Amino acid sequence: MQFTEIASAPIRQALLQVADAKGRLEFDKFIEIALYDPEFGYYRANRVRVGRQIEADFFTASSLSSTFSSIVIESSLGLLEQAGIQPENTAWIEIGAEPQKVLLAGIDTPFETVTSLGVGDEIEIRGNAIVFSNELFDAQPFHSIIYSQGSWKERLIEVADSGLRIVEVEPCSQAVLERLADLPDPAPNNYIVDLPTGSKTLLDTIVSQDWQGAFIGFDYGKTWKALTHDTPQGAARAYSKHRQSPDLLENIGTQDLTTHVCWDWLQQGLEESGFDGIELESQESYILKRAPELVASAFTPQSRLQSELKGHLQQLIHPTLMGQKFQVLSGVRHSCAQASCPR
């Protein structure tokens, strides 16, 4: 494979620090550095990432905050009722919030407290809580494998004088070895599976703590079957200036790197941690079902506000816009003490 030039000496040094004697490192370690390195990681930089501005890289539901916040509050209240918990006794916690994009900032809410945890903040949850995230799980480190010459190979990143390139080796990472038995064999030659292992690690960090209430995750993902049968080029992509690229090695620190989450893994993680009422829905279905009051209010007599609300709802629920592209995973845990929650 052709080499991609490394942008700077500090980036090269950071990669070599975790590489082996051959200058090779696991895919997830490369993603971790590219996204979260304290010095040059993409999510550490003080820059505009989200929005329709030309300098931003992608657009999310949080950009429509005046409407999206109302949707999230109404749906949160419904889930708390399902869990038998009062909102005035509940902490609402957003994890992975972008600076200046905290969803409920400055909004009156029925919750006891509203907290926002940014990238890299320690996640500590106790008591009654609503744990919310928007497009955070797809931004976690991942491994990558390819079916080549009759077997699954692990893809590593090689750091050389000429730059970076992807190499194929026999599976060596524990996270990859644990998934080999679940993979189709044989598979089409050069079929790539990007394993969203970091998203499962993040969920485990959240649900292993002693709290009860509701989990709500807006994101995009696929089933394990779709990842292993319907995406031959892999699910990982880079985004910069609202453009998608398959080249993950370019422009380290200035482009977003992302892959689809595996919804089966996350659903299983919730189930094993004592959650019930677990549902995976399209964003369209979630909003229509769980925020009916807000949806109905869009059809009251016309005003400037209602016109804006209708426009936002169209973007959020229309199947050709965000309605089917994104999904929502939710579930409730009545009491961690009554469930088999890991500690």
pLDDT tens digits for 77-115? 999 999 999 999 999 999 998 776 789 988 999 999 999
Q: How confident is the model at residue 120 (pLDDT cuts 50, 70, 90)?
A: confident
- Average pLDDT (53-81) is 80
Counting residues of the chain whose pLDDT is more than 70, the rounded percentage is 89
Residue 322 above 90 pLDDT?
no
Give the number of other CB atoms < 10 A from CB of residue 27. 25
User: In the prediction, which pLDDT does 341 show?
Assistant: 46
- Select, from the ranges 64-73, 112-121, 151-160, the one with the highest average predicted confidence (pLDDT): 151-160
User: In the prediction, which pLDDT does 241 show?
Assistant: 67
Provide the greatest CA pair distance for the chain.
69
- Average pLDDT (283-301) is 90
Tokens 């050389």 belong to residue:
160
Residue 338 above 60 pLDDT?
no
| Gap between the Cα atoms of 46 and 236, Å rounded | 24
pTM, two decimals, is 0.91
Counting residues of the chain whose pLDDT is more than 90, the rounded percentage is 72
For the chain, the three-class secondary structure string (H helix, E strand, C coil) is CCCECCCCHHHHHHHHHHCCCCCEEEHHHHHHHHHHCCCCCCCCCCCCCECCCCCCCECCHHHHHHHHHHHHHHHHHHHHHHHCCCHHHCEEEEEEECCCCCCCCCCCCCCCEEEEEECCCCCCCCEEEEEEEECCHHHCCCEEEEEECCEEEEEEEEEECCEEEEEEECCCCHHHHCCHHHCCCCCCCCCEEEECHHHHHHHHHHHCCCEEEEEEEEECEECHHHHHHCCCECCCEEEECCEEECCCCCCCCCCEEECCEEHHHHHHHHHHCCCEEEEEEEHHHHHHHHCHHHHHHCCCCCCHHHHHHHHHHHHHHCHHHHHCCCEEEEEEECCHHHCCCCC
The pLDDT tens digits of the residues spanning 186-214 come to: 999 999 999 999 999 999 999 999 999 99
The pLDDT tens digits of the residues spanning 236-252 come to: 999 886 678 889 999 99
Q: Domains in the chain, please, with CATH?
A: 1-41+143-195+221-259 (no CATH), 47-139+198-220+263-337 (3.40.50.12710)
Residues 129, 334, 326, 88: what is their CA dihedral angle, to the nearest 10 degrees? Answer: -40
- Average pLDDT (254-263) is 95
User: In the prediction, which pLDDT does 307 show?
Assistant: 75
Residue 55 above 90 pLDDT?
no
Long-range interactions of 167-170: CB distance < 8 A, separation 24+: 167/1, 167/24, 169/24
Q: How confident is the model at residue 339 (pLDDT cuts 50, 70, 90)?
A: very low
All residues at 6 or more sequence positions from 259 whose CB lies less than 8 Å from its CB, including other chains = 138, 142, 194, 196, 234, 235, 236, 237
Flag the least confident range among 29-38, 161-170, 235-244: 235-244
Give the number of other CB atoms < 10 A from CB of residue 284. 20
User: In the prediction, which pLDDT does 56 show?
Assistant: 58
Q: How confident is the model at residue 53 (pLDDT cuts 50, 70, 90)?
A: low
Token pair for 98: 């972008």
Q: How confident is the model at residue 343 (pLDDT cuts 50, 70, 90)?
A: very low
| Residue of higher predicted confidence among 67 and 144 | 144
User: In the prediction, which pLDDT does 58 show?
Assistant: 57
Q: Which of 17, 327, 304 is nearest to 159 (CA)?
A: 17
Residue 337 above 80 pLDDT?
no
